[in-house]
């Protein structure tokens, strides 16, 4: 590996942008260094499934490269719903891959990534339609965890997480409809912020009223804040709009949040099995927060203990699978047939087809009731909630395959594993996973912090406190 590829491998995006801004390194040199790392590292990890290196080099050397807060920083887009004009996209689906679909326009978020000056080198792998918390699509095969290649980096932003955790790029696009930023951040030792619903537009092709939000996975809190500053805000026609910030989010990093009242949830919310390492991660973080001057006590929203929450989430998730199937058909110009979609997603879409309008309306109403009940806990006096990010450490590759001929088994297992994350997609609140713990074997274990709606500033301030008090390692 060249000296520049080595020297910049573990620099975060903020530091790499500073190198370009100072003239010490050019955007082309940074792109070449990242490309060299991808070519050297990805054979084992299988994280970057679509590459356009020459186009990226041309963009990096162009006089038209935008001058923004991240100019020249090498970047990767998730291969899921992130339309970028002139580039292929598969959404993890075999049929769309084989059709060679090419995007005709940018989503608003991708346009903002461009305006920030990022140089996009390609796409990272995602499970088909992003529906599973592991990244093992039939279309591209499993993505592997850089910390232990027998294990998954999580999902659905698993390719993004593997690329950042291995040092290919400092940040990568990620999305989260049930934990898909936070789960891979936990499995891969990264920072993963799920913003508030309505904080970042999902237009023009997807509704901001759904479960999914988008941002990045990163290795530093300041990078997450920098990207959030660069891309936040509503798009044309958005109806769910998070409260505008009163200051840049980068100003939250290093700021004093004051003495906070923090609740601790260190067990499975509705009685499932939790790995002792995950529970210990939350407790270790709680003790560290107490040492930083905060008040921590056992407590969490009672709504999280309602096992019906999982059922309501799965009903809404099945509708998302049906919409995803229809969306694939729109991109292909014809309906999909059963053999062109993974069984776990086809069966969910079929289930949604059998739901009545009343059934769907009831699920939405139940989700709204849950959202109000959950958010009420913060309204009644708590500032933050601390939980494990996941109930289990990173699973082995293949653990979420279709076992015993039951295509829906992966979804049932996922419901237990992601019990701490999906609730906050329904509540719309911001939540961040931080790599606060390691197992005896050295596997990363994430801890989730959850704030009230619109309070990313508080999450970033406390996350920065934790990062300074207990810096996390890279590989």
The Cβ of residue 287 has, within 10 Å, a number of other Cβ atoms equal to 11
What spatial distance separates the first Cα and last Cα of the chain, rounded to whole Å? Answer: 16
Q: Locate 129 and state its tokens.
A: 């339609």
pLDDT digits (tens, 9 = 90+) for 268-303: 988 889 999 999 999 999 999 999 999 999 999 999
Q: Give the C-alpha separation, 146 to 161, whole Å.
A: 9
Nearest CA to 197 out of 209, 215, 205 is that of: 209
| Residue of 78, 188, 252, 394 marked catalytic | 78
Task: Say if CB 158 and CB 185 are below 8 A apart.
Answer: no
Q: Which residue has the higher pLDDT, 215 or 312?
A: 215
- Domain contains 474: no
Q: Give the C-alpha separation, 242 to 454, whole Å.
A: 6
Q: Give the C-alpha separation, 358 to 446, whole Å.
A: 38
> What is the residue-wise DSSP string for 430-466?
-EEEEEEEE-TT--EEEEEEEESTT-HHHHHHHHHHH
Those residues with Cβ within 8 angstroms of residue 24's Cβ, 6 or more apart along the chain or in another chain: none
Q: Give the C-alpha separation, 210 to 316, whole Å.
A: 9
Annotation says 180 is catalytic: yes
| Residue of 125, 157, 166, 180 marked catalytic | 180
- Domain contains 475: no
Task: Say if CB 153 and CB 400 are below 8 A apart.
Answer: no
Q: Is cis: bond before 66, omega within 30 of 0? A: no
- Domain contains 241: yes
Range of the domain at 104: 3-469
Q: Give the C-alpha separation, 347 to 345, whole Å.
A: 5
Q: Give the C-alpha separation, 219 to 70, whole Å.
A: 15
| Residue of 82, 126, 156, 186 marked catalytic | 156
Say which range, 92-96, 110-114, 335-339, 410-414, has the weakest mean pLDDT: 410-414
Average pLDDT over residues 186-214: 96
Nearest CA to 317 out of 426, 181, 193, 187 is that of: 426
> Where residue 170 sits, what CATH number does that domain have?
3.90.1300.10
Structural domains of the chain, count: 1
- Res. 317: pLDDT tops 90: no
Nearest CA to 179 out of 413, 397, 411, 424 is that of: 424
Task: Say if CB 448 and CB 191 are below 8 A apart.
Answer: no
Annotation says 156 is catalytic: yes
pLDDT digits (tens, 9 = 90+) for 402-412: 656 788 888 87
pLDDT digits (tens, 9 = 90+) for 149-161: 999 999 999 999 9
Task: Say if CB 395 and CB 451 are below 8 A apart.
Answer: no
- Res. 175: pLDDT tops 80: yes
Annotation says 104 is catalytic: no
């Amino acid at each position: 590996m060249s000296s520049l590829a080595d020297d910049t491998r573990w620099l975060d995006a903020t530091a790499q942008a500073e190198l370009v801004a100072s003239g010490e390194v050019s955007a082309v040199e940074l792109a070449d260094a990242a490309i060299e790392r991808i070519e050297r590292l990805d054979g084992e990890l299988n994280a970057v499934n679509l590459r356009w290196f020459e186009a990226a080099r041309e963009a990096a050397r162009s006089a038209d490269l935008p001058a923004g807060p991240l100019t020249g920083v090498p970047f990767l887009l998730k291969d899921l719903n992130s339309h970028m004009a002139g580039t292929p996209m598969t959404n993890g689906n075999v049929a769309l891959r084989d059709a060679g679909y090419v995007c005709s326009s940018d989503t608003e978020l991708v346009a903002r990534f461009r305006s920030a000056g990022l140089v996009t080198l390609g796409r990272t792998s995602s499970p088909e339609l992003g529906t599973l918390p592991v990244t093992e699509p039939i279309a591209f095969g499993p993505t592997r965890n850089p910390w232990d290649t027998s294990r998954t980096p999580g999902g659905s932003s698993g390719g993004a997480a593997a690329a950042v955790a291995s040092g290919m790029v400092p940040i990568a696009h990620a999305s989260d409809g049930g934990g898909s930023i936070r789960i891979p951040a936990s499995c891969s030792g990264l920072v993963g912020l799920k913003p508030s619903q309505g904080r970042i537009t999902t237009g023009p092709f997807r509704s901001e009223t759904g479960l999914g939000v988008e941002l990045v996975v990163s290795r530093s809190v300041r990078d997450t804040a920098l990207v959030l500053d660069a891309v936040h805000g509503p798009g044309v026609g958005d109806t769910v709009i998070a409260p505008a910030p009163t200051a840049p989010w980068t100003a939250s990093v290093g700021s004093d949040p004051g003495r906070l009242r923090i609740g601790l949830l260190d067990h499975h919310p509705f009685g499932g099995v939790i790995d002792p390492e995950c529970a210990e991660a939350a407790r270790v973080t709680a003790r560290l927060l107490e040492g930083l001057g905060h008040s921590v006590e056992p407590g969490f929203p009672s709504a999280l203990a309602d096992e019906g929450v999982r059922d309501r989430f799965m009903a809404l998730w099945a509708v998302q699978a049906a919409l995803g199937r229809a969306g694939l058909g729109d991109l292909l110009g014809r309906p999909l047939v059963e053999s062109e979609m993974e069984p776990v997603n086809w069966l969910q879409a079929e289930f949604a087809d059998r739901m009545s309008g009343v059934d769907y309306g009831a699920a939405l109403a139940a989700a709204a009731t849950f959202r109000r009940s959950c958010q009420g806990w913060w309204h009644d006096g708590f500032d933050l909630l601390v939980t494990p990010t996941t109930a289990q450490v990173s699973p082995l590759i293949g653990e979420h395959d279709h076992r015993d001929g039951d295509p829906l088994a992966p979804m049932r297992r996922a419901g237990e594993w992601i019990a701490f994350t999906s609730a906050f997609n329904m509540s719309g609140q911001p939540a961040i996973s931080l790599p606060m713990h390691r197992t005896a074997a050295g596997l990363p274990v994430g801890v989730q912090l959850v704030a009230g709606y619109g309070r990313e500033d508080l999450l970033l301030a406390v996350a920065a406190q934790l990062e300074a008090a207990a810096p996390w390692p890279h590989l």
